[in-house]
Amino acid sequence: MKTYPKNYGYSASNRTSKWQYLIIAVALIFMALSALPNFFPKKQRLLIHSNGAEKAAIQASELYTQLADANLPVNAINSTEQGSELYFANLSDAKKAYERLVQVYGDEYTIMKSEKSGIPQWLVELGLEPIKLGLDLRGGVLFILDVDGDKAFSDRIVHIRDSVKSITRDNKIRDVNVAIANKEQVVVNIYQPQNLQKVAAEIQNRFPLLSMFYESDTQLKLFYAAAAKNSFHQEIMSQSLSTMRGRIEELGITEAVVQRQGRDRIRIELPGASNPDDVRPIIGATASLQFFQLQERGGKYFKTESGESIAVSPVPIFSGKHIKNAKAGRDEMGMPLVHLTLDAIGGDKMLRFSARNIGKPMVTVFSEYYQNTSGETLKKEKVISVATIQAQLGSRFSITHLSSPEKAQELALLLRAGSLDAPITIAKERTINATLGEKNIENGMAALTLGIGVTLLFMIAWYRQLGVIANVALSFNLLCLLGLMSLLPGAVLTLPGIAGFVLTVGMAVDTNVLIFERIKEELKRGRAVSIAVEQGYKNAFATILDANITTLLTALILYAIGYGPVKGFAITLGLGVLTSMFTGVFISKVLTRLFYTNSNSRREKGVMA
């Protein structure tokens, strides 16, 4: 084995080609740039303005003495004609100074606390941002929503009335009177008892939870018993909850807390959302889509955009809850549209309906709840399209005639996130602080630093020169992971994310340990250093690939099916696997070659063994 020519390490297959250096350089520079914004801490600042124009700004020296008297440190004071800016090292200093200054100047000056991002302007212009921290690490925005279950209930009663009407019409039953009484009951009068029974059977079939009471042979009362009404409410609440979860996930916020609060409220805590205005329209919207059959007369009436009045069958062919996926796009003419994919039930309904009605029009109605100026919740319904069914439609088709691509995007998002039967209003909106608190995060970071420090020291003590390579690779790995996490808009770092981080560090070290142990083995067998290095990387690679692919697989599944914290963990873990493959295998291989193929083999052996 030792008789290999000495220049084995320079043969074409072993040499690091220029493009490999190029890839590494480009990737590292790019990642370092993306990670850079994380290293500029936010500046804590106080702003002082005078209440009236007549009062002059306070002198910097005066502010300084005021704070120094109270033993409060300040980093910088910036006084101009308009007012003063004070910068502090941390939040608690800023708070203490705030309290002090309010005491002294509070009557004549407005004092405001504000954070200023410490990121240099050129980075901001590149569109780079620091990593987004989760609710537990940073705080976020709180929404409390009121779910109007009563409105949903009365809508349901109206729906039952319309269904009864349509059943009687379909069965060609005449002399029918259907009305709503006390907002809670539907009273059905049919003057032929056998017809009434027939209708009753069909209603029971469609609404199994509904109770029935025969006032007489010809009069039937339909209502929900207390238990059924309650379970209707539960159903509405859980539908609203899962729709909200869906919408928030669509927005790319993975670590939100969505909980039911009290009988008919929903509590949503959104980490990382510093601007509630971005989120409000999506959370607050109660949009749903329904597809109707056009009919000659009777049923429901809608006004089209051109002002024409059309009548549709009161019972929709299917509703938004059967929509599995919705994607905005454009047709051949470049007009905006939304592609829909229905679930099995919806697809089946559509298939049967369209087969029977080729050549007939179908009406698409978009409905949304909104509040008018006096605070009442009203339903706005809009006909999006009246289109002729050209062919039999299955579970995939599109909605056309949308006014703009933005509208198509919004409609697709709302449809993807599920429909809401109950109107929702935002009852409360507030910015909340972190659960863990500043101190705890500092402690956690100190702990992570210590852990990583111990790891780095150990690697150097154990592997010497190779340990240095492993440490360089590990640092690059952390840098790449930080960069990727900062780049991805949906990635939020939370406590579970830190678990992913710790695991990633462990696995990144593992990659190098696996390789180095192989190299040592090869050296023990008496191979030359350059061959041992190549063999070590080659042998360890299969193992590393197997281990990492399995982990990646786990991360992918967790990301696809899990939610919230599970998703956050999956993101860190998955990205960590990718970066540790890149740095642990690719970069450290190049580094090892650089170290060992260019120098005297006997000396290195002494270093490595």
Q: Which of positions 539-598 make contact with another protein (CB under 8 A)?
A: 539, 542-543, 546-547, 549-551, 553-555, 557-558, 560-566, 568-570, 573
Residues contacting residue 156 through CB under 8 Å, at least 6 positions apart:
232, 421
CA distances from 593 to 28, 281, 525, 526 (A): 19, 56, 20, 19
Interacting residues with another protein between 3 and 42 (CB under 8 A)? none
In the bound state with another protein, the residue whose beta carbon lies nearer, of 131 and 573, is 573
β-strands 132-133, 492-493 pairing: parallel
Residue 187 binds another protein, judged by CB under 8 A? no
Residue 324: CB minimum distance to another protein, A: 15
d(CA 434, CA 437): 5
Judge whether 20 and 26 are in contact, CB under 8 Å: no
Residue 138: CB minimum distance to another protein, A: 12
Residue 59 binds another protein, judged by CB under 8 A? no
Burial (CB count <10 Å: 0-12, 13-18, 19+), residue 361: middle
Residue 432: CB minimum distance to another protein, A: 4
Nearest Cα to Cα of residue 366 among 291, 457, 288, 481: 288
Return the DSSP state at 294: B
**Beta-ladder partners of 214:** 220
Site string for another protein, 194-233 (x = CB under 8 A): ----------------------------------------
d(CA 206, CA 379): 24
**Beta-ladder partners of 223:** 211
Phi, psi of 345 (to 5 degrees): -65, -50
Residue 171: CB minimum distance to another protein, A: 38
Residue 104: CB minimum distance to another protein, A: 16
CA distances from 329 to 53, 332, 334, 512 (A): 54, 10, 9, 46
Residue 536: CB minimum distance to another protein, A: 12
Among 451, 489, 525, 599, interactor with another protein by CB under 8 A: 451
Interacting residues with another protein between 374 and 393 (CB under 8 A)? none
Residue 524 binds another protein, judged by CB under 8 A? no
In the bound state with another protein, the residue whose beta carbon lies nearer, of 347 and 496, is 496
Among 23, 60, 158, 434, interactor with another protein by CB under 8 A: 434
Judge whether 496 and 568 are in contact, CB under 8 Å: yes
**Beta-ladder partners of 19:** none
Interacting residues with another protein between 248 and 267 (CB under 8 A)? 257-262, 265, 267
Residue 48 binds another protein, judged by CB under 8 A? no
In the bound state with another protein, the residue whose beta carbon lies nearer, of 408 and 482, is 482
Residue 1 binds another protein, judged by CB under 8 A? no
In the bound state with another protein, the residue whose beta carbon lies nearer, of 362 and 452, is 452
Task: For CA atoms 289, 294, 297, 299, give the dihedral sign.
Answer: negative
Residue 364: CB minimum distance to another protein, A: 28
In the bound state with another protein, the residue whose beta carbon lies nearer, of 30 and 462, is 462
In the bound state with another protein, the residue whose beta carbon lies nearer, of 4 and 462, is 462
Residue 454: CB minimum distance to another protein, A: 4
Residue 403: CB minimum distance to another protein, A: 35
In the bound state with another protein, the residue whose beta carbon lies nearer, of 27 and 514, is 514
In the bound state with another protein, the residue whose beta carbon lies nearer, of 317 and 577, is 577
How many CB atoms neighbour CB 53 within 10 A? 6
Task: For CA atoms 602, 606, 608, 609, give the dihedral sign.
Answer: positive
CA distances from 303 to 71, 311, 386 (A): 71, 9, 11
Residue 140: CB minimum distance to another protein, A: 10
Return the DSSP state at 585: I
d(CA 530, CA 532): 5
Residue 271: CB minimum distance to another protein, A: 12
Task: For CA atoms 244, 245, 249, 253, give the dihedral sign.
Answer: positive
Number of residues that bind another protein (CB under 8 A): 80
Task: Report the chain's terminal Cα–Cα distance, integer Å.
Answer: 18
Nearest Cα to Cα of residue 397 among 338, 462, 440, 480: 338
Which amino acid does the sequence have at 13?
A: S
Residue 438: CB minimum distance to another protein, A: 8
In the bound state with another protein, the residue whose beta carbon lies nearer, of 187 and 244, is 244
In the bound state with another protein, the residue whose beta carbon lies nearer, of 188 and 248, is 248
What ranges in 328-390 are assigned the alpha helix state H? 344-356
In the bound state with another protein, the residue whose beta carbon lies nearer, of 379 and 430, is 430
Largest CA distance in the chain: 108
Binding window for another protein (CB under 8 A); candidates: 16-24, 26-34, 278-286, 441-449: 441-449
Task: For CA atoms 230, 234, 239, 241, give the dihedral sign.
Answer: positive
CA distances from 457 to 383, 443, 471, 480 (A): 68, 21, 9, 21
Binding window for another protein (CB under 8 A); candidates: 146-154, 289-297, 333-341, 449-457: 449-457
Residue 154 binds another protein, judged by CB under 8 A? no
Residue 440 binds another protein, judged by CB under 8 A? yes
Site string for another protein, 478-517 (x = CB under 8 A): -----------------xx--xx-xx-xxx-xx--xx--x
In the bound state with another protein, the residue whose beta carbon lies nearer, of 320 and 565, is 565
In the bound state with another protein, the residue whose beta carbon lies nearer, of 389 and 452, is 452
Interacting residues with another protein between 394 and 433 (CB under 8 A)? 430-433
Residue 564: CB minimum distance to another protein, A: 7
Residue 545: CB minimum distance to another protein, A: 10
Judge whether 421 and 234 are in contact, CB under 8 Å: no
Interacting residues with another protein between 92 and 151 (CB under 8 A)? 92, 95, 99, 113, 139, 142
> What residue has token string 């007489």?
216
Nearest Cα to Cα of residue 442 among 88, 43, 40, 91: 91
Residue 509: CB minimum distance to another protein, A: 5
